[in-house]
């Protein structure tokens, strides 16, 4: 086995920065099977790339992703580009036998996603999709409780993902407003996360029905006097029926005034319940019917004990970690999957299944009725 694994990063925006932080800190806090090396970063804008590599110590640069993918010294391709590029980059990289970690949503639609998953499997590479919120220690803990049956059979999975960064009508058009570049707006961006968490906690979804809205139809184009038409949804919400009989509710918005990055889960089961809020991501709230009636209530667990998932690597009890740590955990788990030749999770299959749900919901926005998700 090699003692080092080399990463090539494509895309150096917000996610590129978050992933860089992960690579920089990974080796220092976890005992990994490999040393993870920040081998090369790739972006077409050389000035921006220079600055980025300089800042985060990427050892080399590429301006064309094909070049990056063809390099023999790269083991993992990390895809942090706008959504429309996920598919072409991933397919090329897979064919070059690179392992892949790809940001979410995995693709523009389920067809692309399925092809990515199938191609990856055929080529026997390891693949992961960047649903980093599975790596919040509090949510890993919730998953342990679910698996132990602590909450019984789940009946309600109600999730919201509120942001408000588009509130100002003068906020200019960016790629995230274009259906062509992003596939969808808040739906693919924010609902993708909570759909993945729904599958993580409750299982597959059978049918969905929803509605979307574009509140501000036109926005300024930066450096121009003209306005551009917004094609991506500002808000998107839908209901779901799960295979296990549970009901679901999913609401994503970029117009949830006052909420910056507010992802809340409320999950109710036959024996207990939990809730979670990303703005207080070190806390998990649980309820159990096993407590004496006089003592029942929601308990707030501060998930910073060494017995909690991932925490042993960090600080003593009560010393909270930040949002970016979720990426460190994610990439740690991916590297371990490679080392142990195990299936990573969530992987392209999860990306694909999530995308199916998103696609069905998106379709229901137009058909105005429930849409079923075919179950394989």
Asked if residue 247 binds a second copy (CB under 8 A), the reply is yes
What distance in Å separates the CA atoms of residue 198 and residue 30, rounded to the nearest whole number? 28
Q: Which of 25, 60, 231, 345 binds a second copy (CB under 8 A)?
A: 25
Is 282 a binding residue for a second copy by CB under 8 A? The answer is yes
- Which range binds a second copy by CB under 8 A, 14-22, 102-110, 117-125, 346-354? 14-22
Residue 299 touching a second copy (CB under 8 A): yes
Alpha carbon distance 117, 250 (integer Å): 25
Per CB under 8 A, contacts with a second copy among 180-219 are 209-211, 213, 215
Q: Under rule CB under 8 A, how many of the chain's residues touch a second copy?
A: 91
The residue within the footprint of a second copy, chosen from 41, 120, 160, 344 (CB under 8 A), is 160
Q: Among 8, 130, 185, 272, which residue sits at the site for a second copy (rule: CB under 8 A)? A: 272
Judged by CB under 8 A, does residue 369 bind a second copy? Answer: yes
Measured from the CB of residue 321, what is the shortest distance to a second copy in angstroms? 4
The residue among 253 and 347 lying less far from a second copy, judged by its C-beta, is 253
Q: Does 1 bind a second copy (CB under 8 A)?
A: no
Among 2, 322, 340, 375, binds a second copy (CB under 8 A): 322
Q: Which DSSP category does 98 fall into? A: -
**Minimum CB separation from a second copy for residue 256, in Å?**
5
Q: What angle do CA 218, 219, 221 make, to 5 degrees?
A: 125
> Does 312 contact a second copy by CB under 8 A?
no
Report yes or no: 74 and 8 within 8 Å, Cβ to Cβ: yes
Q: Residue 252: which of 275, 278, 273 has the closest Cα?
A: 278
238 binds a second copy (CB under 8 A): yes
CB of 349 to a second copy, least distance (A): 27
Among 225, 294, 366, 376, binds a second copy (CB under 8 A): 294
The reply to whether 59 sits near a second copy by the rule CB under 8 A is no
Using CB under 8 A as the binding rule, whether residue 149 contacts a second copy is answered as: no
Q: Which stretch binds a second copy (CB under 8 A): 52-60, 71-79, 103-111, 125-133?
A: 52-60
* Cα–Cα distance for residue pair 233/222, rounded to 1 Å: 20
- Which of 24, 113, 30 lies closest to 329 in space, CA to CA? 30
Q: Is 297 in the site for a second copy (CB under 8 A)?
A: yes
User: What residues have CB less than 8 Å from 213, skipping those under 6 apart?
Assistant: 233, 234, 235, 236
136 is a contact residue toward a second copy (CB under 8 A): no
> Considering beta carbons, is residue 95 or 298 the nearer one to a second copy?
298
CB 78 within 8 A of CB 85: no
What's the first-to-final CA gap in the chain, in angstroms? Answer: 36
What stretch of H or E contains 71? Answer: none
Q: d(Cα 260, Cα 238) in Å, to the nearest integer?
A: 21
Q: Which DSSP symbol is given to 189?
A: I
* C-alpha torsion 184→375→159→180, nearest 10: 0
What is the rounded CA–CA span in Å between residue 213 and residue 276? 26
CA separation for the pair 91, 112 (Å, rounded) = 10
User: For 21, what's the count of Cα atoms within 13 Å in the CB-facing half-sphere?
Assistant: 15
For the CB of residue 71, give the shortest distance to a second copy in the complex, in Å.
24
Q: In whole angstroms, how close is the CB of 228 to a second copy at the nearest point?
A: 20
Q: Does residue 38 interact with a second copy by CB under 8 A? A: no
For position 53 contacting a second copy by CB under 8 A, the verdict is no
């Amino acid at each position: 086995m090699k003692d080092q694994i080399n990463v090539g990063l494509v895309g150096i925006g917000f996610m590129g920065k978050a992933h860089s932080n992960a690579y920089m800190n990974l080796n220092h806090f976890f005992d990994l099977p490999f040393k993870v090396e920040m081998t090369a970063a790739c972006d077409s804008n050389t000035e921006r790339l220079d600055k980025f590599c300089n800042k985060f110590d990427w050892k080399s640069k590429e301006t064309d992703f094909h070049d990056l993918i063809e390099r023999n010294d790269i083991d993992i391709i990390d895809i942090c580009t706008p959504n429309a590029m996920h598919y072409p980059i991933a397919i090329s990289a897979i064919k070059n036998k690179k392992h892949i970690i790809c940001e979410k949503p995995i693709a523009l639609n389920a067809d692309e996603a399925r092809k990515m998953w199938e191609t990856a499997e055929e080529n026997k590479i390891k693949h992961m999709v960047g649903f980093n919120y599975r790596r919040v220690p509090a949510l890993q803990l919730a998953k342990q409780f679910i698996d132990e049956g602590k909450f019984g059979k789940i009946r309600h999975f109600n999730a919201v993902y509120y942001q408000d960064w588009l509130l100002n009508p003068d906020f200019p058009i960016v790629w995230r407003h274009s259906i062509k570049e992003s596939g969808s707006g808040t739906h693919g961006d924010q609902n993708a996360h909570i759909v993945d968490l729904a599958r993580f906690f409750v299982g597959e979804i059978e049918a969905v029905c929803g509605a979307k809205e574009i509140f501000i139809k036109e926005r300024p184009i930066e450096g121009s006097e003209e306005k551009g038409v917004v094609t991506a949804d500002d808000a998107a919400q839908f209901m779901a029926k799960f295979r296990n009989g549970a009901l679901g509710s999913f609401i994503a918005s970029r117009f949830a005034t006052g909420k910056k990055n507010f992802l809340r889960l409320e999950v109710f089961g036959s024996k207990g319940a939990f809730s979670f809020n990303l703005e207080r991501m070190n806390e998990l709230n649980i309820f159990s019917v096993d407590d004496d009636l006089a003592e029942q209530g929601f308990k707030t667990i501060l998930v910073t004990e060494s017995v909690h998932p991932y925490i042993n690597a960090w600080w003593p009890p009560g010393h909270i970690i930040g949002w970016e740590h979720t990426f460190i955990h994610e990439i740690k788990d991916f590297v371990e999957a490679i080392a142990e030749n195990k299936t990573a999770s969530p992987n392209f299959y999860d990306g694909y299944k999530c995308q199916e749900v998103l696609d069905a919901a998106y379709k229901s926005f137009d058909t105005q009725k429930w849409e079923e998700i075919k179950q394989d």
